[in-house]
Chains A and B, each alone.
Chain A
């Protein structure tokens, strides 16, 4: 289960970021922000070779001592980042993929809301609920 989930706008500013409350929130912000380096690099590398035939799931972005960071980019260049505890070895690649898919679906729902302004931060209970379901349950 994730310890931090973030949605990043096309212009690379955060639309939504949530981490488990027990740990240093700022650290997760930095982790997500630095992971964008890898995301950008991957997107630009793919852009050159294949055009639009792009796999949305970017896989493991980079491992740190404590966390694994996974990335996913929608066709409109909105990025999803999931941070998982390194000690959590039970999580398979497939499960991460399905987490991203769920996140993407929910994000699409948010975008379909006529009262939502694309580019604004996400304030949706439904989206919150989906994210909560994917986060490590504490307490």
Chain B
């Protein structure tokens, strides 16, 4: 991978951890050792101390330590940081070497083993000559140790072993190989960690101690180096706060270095490394703003440090890498829990990295032209195969003066680098970065930024000649720009896409992009559009189009041959382009002339076409497809012969179609489902430009909206009468077929309101005004559906008016055949309606018929119908009120058993029409008539509005087994009809339920027998009948009070007994003294045995007054003669 030169070294990017070497372990053949090693390696989670362990053989050679420098006086550093240094301290020079040795305290061969161990320690010490690396010994024992101090042998032998090996007591450990291995190991490694910390601490001190020997003129590089080393050791020591501090110092020192063309790369490389470390630590310390600030500072400081102009691409590559690695750090921090925001997320850094990569590519293209052949890669090769110091030139390593040592070598070196750069797959790098950025922006809700980057990716694929991928990407984002109406950007993308389509000879894509670039959304110049239109015409004629400008010449040649192949290929010359979602150069709108047509009218359809291209465009066919495909044949226009139809730029062309609808389609909708325009011809290539629905494209909705708001609409209509304003043309995509207008009249005559329960007559007159015979007339009459459900139950419709219909008659009579109707003929029918509840009702009279007509020479049978509705109110014809009164016409609240009383009925007419009461009758329950025959008193009475008819019946309630209860009395039936109705019209019977009565029984009944009037000074005999209604003998006291108006004879006061069921009669002769209404002498009656019944309650049966006539003259002949 050629980009690897700019990759950060892995030892820089990893987290530094203390390095501890384990020796004396045979992990391959010894199971115990294997288990120990596994316990060290396995499960190294965050809670374990950060140490990297390595198993090394006992006699491992560690890197040699150079002899200590006693003076820096004559020392000139050759570079900032050696390439091997970080790796050396991470992986090669241990902070601690641990020797594992199997030895129990009671080993029989203790002496021998002790000296063997001492030898092994000595070997390790020797190979670490000059290093501060610590050595420790771990004894692997089979027995569990006793608690400290109890095993005397152990402590004695331990001291001896320490002595023999020259170890401090702290560096000798015991590892019993028993159950709790992991626990022991964790304790061991914590001890190791402490030793390692001490080691790194001394290393830091050692490096710091060099400082006093340095001087500022010659040792500037060392200042940076030492600070870096201290910082790195601090990191190994896990002291990140100090590490950050030292890295920061190192960073500021590096910018104090004298920078010139020869060391620029080294300075930038190291600055990049240190910056990386700082940012990484800042993110680790959860101070992302510090990281961002540091990065910004870094970029600002280094942006202008381009270095050698001939290698400017290197700077761009380096910059790109800076942004990329910061982006990666940022992204990593986010994965660990940092939250980023829309305006500050890793995407921006990836994007900028991509941007620098693009610069790099551009500069590489400019700078790497020369030297087609590779003279030699020799200048880039070094003896060791790598560099000694980071960021130096291979051909002059260690050189630190301003001028290059050898001008010729320098030139060759630069040339070699340029040649190498030529082979870098720039596009790949750019695309990778862009797709990283896209992923980020997608996450942080930046759809437009994402689209923009995808466009860049597409363009990069185009440059990389991967046209398929380029088109895929561009096609994907194009629609975003189209819906957002950024025409400038859309045109730019389309132009690139067109080039791709051309270079891969993709005919369909090529045509689509051409069509859109010629359309009204294109911002191309006129001459460009002309060129594209010419190319489009060539493709339609099956010729090879001209190359797009700014294409790579070699690709153009390849594309030409591709096109010729395509052209030669027979077949597949027809293609359909769905343009609904594009903005093609032909606009289309279609409309039905009206939202509905009668079936006997021809349906008119208009299609408007308009071309936006710079030159005339011709087409050969226009076809409209409708939802009912049978009509499609009428909506096609094809060019005849040589002549083709054409569209002038900017002019609207209108095509009219008309056809006759089928009678089956009445009530149905006809929709435009698609419109097709055929460009080209069979000889070349046929392209069907197809719109879904009634035309319109991706932009037309907005345009229609604008047009509707436009103030120019009114102004423009004045000047351009003949041509319709395109924007204000509205689409009418469907039309309704409705039935033919009926030419008959339906008239209703009736006398509202309807009376409750009557057979209400509505007469219907149908008159034909048709020119032909109206056949098959059918009437549907009755309650209009869709009203209150109760109305359906209480409304009955019938044609038979001769009798009152019953409940089985329906509310709506459907399809009553009425026969045919000749022109001008009249037909009458009566419909009877019985309404059983009051209130308004809507009645429907629907007359349907069929008739033959001709439309545009075609014979069709049309079904017509005429609806009439009428609202009819139903009212009560009369009110009936009923009351019970006594024989004295006093109203009764309770009725005495077996005593006659009266029933009074009043019939009050509320009908606006005169009513004829035919008869009335009573249907009695419980009570019986007091008269032998009940005769209606209102027969043939006619009531006008507001008039009242009354009747009176005398009734009696026979004795009941259970007295004093409420009983039903029966019904009152009235037969009536309208006065105006004909003689044979049925009678309507209205039934009134009579009220219930409360019964009471009386112990004594008394009634008087007296003439209807008296005469002054003429005797008047009154007989009182007193009946005992009880089963007991009743003692009655009677007295007659004196009165001024009468003299009387008879018993004034009497006491008598009446046997059960029998009666006594009392006879009085009254002698009236005054004329007029006179109060009769009052009879006082008391029943000592029955105290509840008193005079007052008995007196109600007796007459109170009597009319007394004055004394008449004697009728004799003389008086007659005198008169």
Taking CB atoms and an 8 Å cut-off, the chain B residues in 677-718 that contact chain A are 702, 705-706, 709-712
Smallest CB separation, B3 vs chain A (Å)? 21
Taking CB atoms and an 8 Å cut-off, the chain B residues in 329-370 that contact chain A are 342-343, 348, 352, 355
B1098 at the interface (CB under 8 A from A): no
B residues within 8 A CB of A62?
Answer: 343, 348
From known contacts A14-B486, A26-B492, infer whether A117 and B709 are also in contact, taking CB-CB under 8 Å.
Answer: yes
- A9 — nearest CB in chain B belongs to which residue? B485
B581 at the interface (CB under 8 A from A): no
Which of the 9-residue segments A35-43, A48-56, A99-107, A124-132 touches chain B?
A: A35-43
B840 at the interface (CB under 8 A from A): no
Smallest CB separation, B963 vs chain A (Å)? 83
From known contacts A13-B485, A33-B448, infer whether A114 and B342 are also in contact, taking CB-CB under 8 Å.
Answer: no
Taking CB atoms and an 8 Å cut-off, the chain A residues in 1-31 that contact chain B are 11-14, 17, 25-26, 29-30
B residues within 8 A CB of A30?
Answer: 452, 455, 489
Taking CB atoms and an 8 Å cut-off, the chain A residues in 104-139 that contact chain B are 114-115, 117-120
Q: How far is the CA of A117 from the CA of B343 in the complex (A)?
A: 35
Taking CB atoms and an 8 Å cut-off, the chain B residues in 354-409 that contact chain A are 355
A residues within 8 A CB of B702?
Answer: 11
Q: How far is the CA of A13 from the CA of B481 in the complex (A)?
A: 9
From known contacts A14-B486, A29-B486, A29-B489, infer whether A34 and B709 are also in contact, taking CB-CB under 8 Å.
Answer: no
Q: How far is the CA of A25 from the CA of B489 in the complex (A)?
A: 10
From known contacts A29-B489, A119-B709, infer whether A34 and B452 are also in contact, taking CB-CB under 8 Å.
Answer: yes
Smallest CB separation, B726 vs chain A (Å)? 15
- Are A33 and B485 in contact, with the CB atoms below 8 A? no
B1026 at the interface (CB under 8 A from A): no
B1052 at the interface (CB under 8 A from A): no
Q: How far is the CA of A46 from the CA of B355 in the complex (A)?
A: 33
Q: Which of A33, A119, A120 contacts B486 (CB 8 A)?
A: A33
- Are B486 and A11 in contact, with the CB atoms below 8 A? no
B107 at the interface (CB under 8 A from A): no
- Are B489 and A38 in contact, with the CB atoms below 8 A? no
Give per-residue flags for B421-460: 1 if the beta carbon is below 8 A from chain A beta carbons, else 0: 0000000000000000000000001111100100100000
Among B355, B486, B709, max chain A CB count under 10 A is at B486
Main secondary structure of the interface of A (DSSP, over half): mixed
From known contacts A13-B484, A37-B342, A62-B343, infer whether A117 and B452 are also in contact, taking CB-CB under 8 Å.
Answer: no
Q: How far is the CA of A58 from the CA of B219 in the complex (A)?
A: 51
B488 at the interface (CB under 8 A from A): yes
- Are A37 and B449 in contact, with the CB atoms below 8 A? yes
Q: Which of A13, A38, A117 contacts B711 (CB 8 A)?
A: A117
Q: How far is the CA of A62 from the CA of B455 in the complex (A)?
A: 20
Q: Which of A17, A34, A117 contacts B448 (CB 8 A)?
A: A34
Number of interface residues of B (CB under 8 A): 25
Q: Which of B355, B455, B710 contacts A65 (CB 8 A)?
A: B355
A73 at the interface (CB under 8 A from B): no
- Are A120 and B484 in contact, with the CB atoms below 8 A? no
Q: Which of A65, A118, A119, A120 contacts B352 (CB 8 A)?
A: A65
Q: How far is the CA of A135 from the CA of B488 in the complex (A)?
A: 21
From known contacts A37-B447, A37-B448, infer whether A61 and B343 are also in contact, taking CB-CB under 8 Å.
Answer: yes
Q: How far is the CA of A14 from the CA of B712 in the complex (A)?
A: 21
- Are B446 and A37 in contact, with the CB atoms below 8 A? yes
Q: How far is the CA of A34 from the CA of B448 in the complex (A)?
A: 5
B residues within 8 A CB of A114?
Answer: 711
Among B342, B448, B710, max chain A CB count under 10 A is at B448
- Are B711 and A36 in contact, with the CB atoms below 8 A? no
From known contacts A26-B492, A65-B355, infer whether A33 and B709 are also in contact, taking CB-CB under 8 Å.
Answer: no
- Are A118 and B445 in contact, with the CB atoms below 8 A? no
Q: How far is the CA of A61 from the CA of B790 in the complex (A)?
A: 69
Smallest CB separation, A18 vs chain B (Å)? 12
- Are A117 and B706 in contact, with the CB atoms below 8 A? yes
- Are B489 and A33 in contact, with the CB atoms below 8 A? yes
- B710 — nearest CB in chain A belongs to which residue? A117
Q: How far is the CA of A37 from the CA of B709 in the complex (A)?
A: 28
A residues within 8 A CB of B448?
Answer: 33-34, 36-37
Q: How far is the CA of A11 from the CA of B711 in the complex (A)?
A: 20
Smallest CB separation, B1080 vs chain A (Å)? 95
> Using a CB–CB distance below 8 Å, which chain B residues touch chain A?
342-343, 348, 352, 355, 445-449, 452, 455, 484-486, 488-489, 492, 702, 705-706, 709-712
Given contact pairs A11-B702, A25-B488, A61-B343, a sample of 10 additional A-B residue pairs in the complex whose CB atoms are under 8 Å apart = A13-B485, A14-B485, A26-B492, A33-B486, A34-B446, A38-B343, A62-B348, A65-B355, A117-B711, A119-B706
Closest 6 A-B residue pairs measured CB to CB?
A13-B485, A37-B446, A34-B449, A62-B343, A34-B448, A37-B448
> Using a CB–CB distance below 8 Å, which chain A residues touch chain B?
11-14, 17, 25-26, 29-30, 33-34, 36-38, 41, 61-62, 64-65, 114-115, 117-120
Q: Could you give 29 example pairs across A and B, Cβ below 8 Å?
A: A11-B484, A11-B702, A12-B485, A13-B484, A14-B488, A25-B488, A26-B492, A29-B488, A30-B489, A33-B484, A33-B486, A33-B489, A36-B448, A37-B446, A37-B449, A38-B342, A61-B343, A62-B348, A64-B348, A64-B352, A114-B711, A115-B711, A117-B706, A117-B711, A117-B712, A119-B705, A119-B706, A119-B709, A120-B706
